[in-house]
Every structure is written in C-alpha cells, then in structure tokens.
Amino acid sequence: MLSTAGNVVILALVVAISLLFMVVVNRLWPLKARYGRDDLIGWQLETLATIQAVIMGFMLYTGWTNLQAINLNIEVEASALQNLYRLADGLPAELRTPIQAQALQYALSAVDDDWPDLAAGRVPEKSHRVNQSMWKTLTHARVESPSETTVLGQTLSELRNLTQCRRIRVLQSTSHLPGIFWCVLVVGSVLTIISVAMFGSSIYPLHVFQVFSLTVLITLAMLTIADLDRPFAGVHVASYPFQRALHNMREAD
C-alpha cells in the first residue's frame, strides 16, 4: 500500500502526462483533420469507455467483498479465542491454567507479530506455534467427570474453529489479483485515456476538462483497487478484534 502522499504524487503525475499528451496531439494533429469523421468514432469511444467502466466496477466490487469477508473471518477467529478462554474455566486447574495462558499468548502474538508479518507478505509463525501448543495441551488432556468431558469437547470445537479461521486469514493475506487482471486494467485505462485525449470535444476548454476528469477518476479507481488488493498492508484490516479479545480475557482474570 502506498502512503497518501504517494497516491497524490501518482495521481498528479498521471494527470500531467495525460494533459501533456492531449496538448501534443492537438499540435501535431489539427482539429479539422480529427473531427471530420466524428460520426465514425463516437460509438467506438463509447463502447471502449463502457467496457472499461464495467471491468473497473467489477474489480472494485470484488475487492470490497473480499475485504468484508476478511474482516468477518477475523471477528470469528477472535470470538473463538475468547470462547476457548472462557470454556477453560470448566476444566481442571492443571489444564485450565496452561490453556488460558496460551490463549493470551495467541492474542498477543496476533497483535504484535501476525499483522506486521502479513503486511510484509510473510507467513506468521509465532501464532502458529502457539496454536500447535494449544492442540497438544488439549489432545493430551485427561478429564474424569462428565461435565469436564463436555467442556473439553466444546473447547476442542472452538480450537478447531480458531485454527480454521487462522488458516483462512493467512490464505487471504497471500491472495492477490492475477497478473492478467492487472494487464487488462492497465491496458484498458491507458487506451481509454488516450482515446479521450485524441477524440474528445472539439471545444478546447471542454476537452481539457474531459481528459482531466476522466484521468482523475480512472487513476483513483486503479489506486483503490491496488489498495484493496493488499488489505493487511493498509488500514483496511486492523487487529482490533484481537486487541478487544485480549482486553476481555485479562478482565476476566
């Protein structure tokens, strides 16, 4: 993810290049020579712009729905961790103490280690090791009373949900738009801007506004898609659910 300043620089650069291209075309290719056949190219420009709008709209929608799915999965993972911590109260002391300590350690590692690793494109390992320790603790547990057996089963169920959500979170962090999709987006955007710069309005001030506004809109959409494609590298996916879970678990002590 680029910073706000980086996005502004890219936007200004693309707009400047588009307007410069329009000025060069106007000097090298006179208006009379270009607009003499306006009726032959109008429908082509409209078709090109429509196709590009559909493609970009689809990409934005996909990125937004993926972001919502990621946030929901993180909420479920943090909820499973809190449930596991609470259920441990119904286990024997020799089992309850290590499980609750591991649950706290898992939340800490998620906040302090997982998010920096995911933002850098690395697979987090610390929370994985804690998760494995939790499995070893519970699968080697021995309980006697029926109530403890029931609680142990429910705790294992929550640990299974926790493990599955963590695996999904890691997969979601490494999933990006394929290169061919970016090729379609970039090529379509460039062709659309070039077409408007060459065959926009014959009124010069209006032509300038057309090129400027379309370039700004397309560039902002492309930057948004690029931003959504790396949700853990920006502010879209926060570790707040685990921070809240850590706070709630500590308060329960």
Q: pLDDT tens-digit profile of 204-225?
A: 888 899 899 999 999 999 999 9
Q: Is the residue at 35 inside a domain? A: no
Cα distances from 148 to residues 55, 85, 151, 183, 235, in angstroms, run 55, 15, 5, 57, 42
Q: Is the residue at 29 inside a domain? A: no
Q: Is the residue at 12 inside a domain? A: yes
Q: How much is the mean pLDDT over the chain? A: 88
Q: Is the residue at 90 inside a domain? A: yes
Cα distances from 113 to residues 22, 145, 210, 248, in angstroms, run 49, 38, 47, 20
Q: What pTM did the predictor assign?
A: 0.83
pLDDT in tens, 134-182: 999 998 888 888 888 999 999 999 999 999 999 999 999 888 889 999 9
What pLDDT sits at residue 13?
A: 95
DSSP-derived 3-state class of residue 176: coil
Query: Looking at the predicted structure, is the pLDDT value of residue 17 above 90?
Result: yes
Percent of the chain with pLDDT over 70: 93
What pLDDT sits at residue 16?
A: 95
What pLDDT sits at residue 98?
A: 93
Q: Which helix (H) or strand (E) holds 17?
A: helix 4-28
pLDDT in tens, 63-77: 999 999 999 999 999
Domain span at residue 139 reads 4-24+43-252
Cα distances from 191 to residues 179, 186, 197, in angstroms, run 18, 9, 10
* CB burial readout 83-106, b (16+ within 10 A) else e: bbbbbbebbbeebbebbbebbbbb
Q: Which helix (H) or strand (E) holds 163?
A: helix 146-174
Q: How many domains does the chain have?
A: 1
What confidence category does residue 81 fall into, taking pLDDT thresholds of 50, 70 and 90? very high
Q: Is the residue at 38 inside a domain? A: no
For helices 38-87 and 240-252, the axis angle rounded to 10 degrees is 10
Q: Is the residue at 33 inside a domain? A: no
* Distance from C-alpha of 192 to C-alpha of 54, rounded to nearest angstrom: 13
Q: Is the residue at 30 inside a domain? A: no
Q: Is the residue at 65 inside a domain? A: yes
* Distance from C-alpha of 169 to C-alpha of 73, rounded to nearest angstrom: 7
Nearest alpha-carbon partner for 141 in 125, 128, 154:
154
